[in-house]
Amino acid sequence: MPNKRSGKIVMMQGNHACSEGAIAAGCRFYAGYPITPSSEIAELLARKLPAVGGKFIQMEDEIAAMGAIIGASLTGVKSMTATSGPGFSLKQENIGYACMAEVPCVVVNVQRGGPSTGMPTHPAQADVQQARWGTHGDHSIIVLTASSAQETFEQTIRAFNLAETYMTPVILIIDEIVGHTMEKVILPDREGIGIINRKQPTIPPEQYLPYKKTKSCIPILANFGIGYRYHVTGLCHDETGFPTNEPKEIEALITRLSEKIERHRDKIIQCRLMMLDDAEVAIFAYGTVARSARRAVKDCREQGVRVGLVEPTVLWPFPSEIVLDIAEAVDAFVVPEMNLGQMAREVELAAKCKARVHRLSRVDGDPITPDQIIYTVKGMV
Q: What is the pLDDT of residues 259-300, one digit of tens each?
A: 999 999 999 999 999 999 999 999 999 999 999 999 999 999
| Cα atoms in the Cβ-side hemisphere of radius 13 Å centred on 312 | 25
Burial 249-263 (b: 16+ CB within 10 A, else e): ebebbeebbeebbeb
Three-state DSSP at 145 gives strand
Burial 320-351 (b: 16+ CB within 10 A, else e): bebbeebbeebebbbbbbbbeebbbebbbebb
Comparing CA positions, the residue from 143, 131, 151 lying closest to residue 172 is 143
- Spell out the alpha helix ranges (H) of the chain: 14-25, 39-48, 62-74, 85-101, 128-133, 149-166, 176-180, 247-262, 265-268, 288-302, 320-327, 342-351, 370-378
Q: What is the pLDDT of residues 51-68, one digit of tens each?
A: 999 999 999 999 999 999
pLDDT for position 84: 98
Q: What is the pLDDT of residues 186-221, one digit of tens each?
A: 999 988 899 999 999 999 999 999 999 899 999 999
Distance CA 112, CA 124 (A): 5
**Does the model's pTM come out above 0.85?**
yes
Cα 345 to its chain centre, rounded Å, is: 19
Cα 132 to its chain centre, rounded Å, is: 10
pLDDT for position 3: 53
Distance CA 221, CA 210 (A): 5
Q: What is the mean pLDDT of residues 324-349?
A: 98
Q: How many other C-beta atoms are found inside a 10 Å radius of the C-beta of residue 372? A: 16
Q: Which amino acid is at 154?
A: E
Q: Among 6-15, 78-87, 295-304, 326-335, which is the least confidently predicted range?
A: 6-15
Distance CA 274, CA 286 (A): 13
Q: What is the pLDDT of residues 340-350, one digit of tens each?
A: 999 999 999 99
Distance CA 378, CA 376 (A): 5
Q: What is the mean pLDDT of residues 331-339?
A: 98
**Ordered structural domains, the chain, with CATH:** 7-192 (3.40.50.970), 271-378 (3.40.50.920)
Signed CA dihedral, 129, 130, 132, 135: sign only? positive
Distance CA 181, CA 95 (A): 28
2 — pLDDT class (breaks 50, 70, 90): low
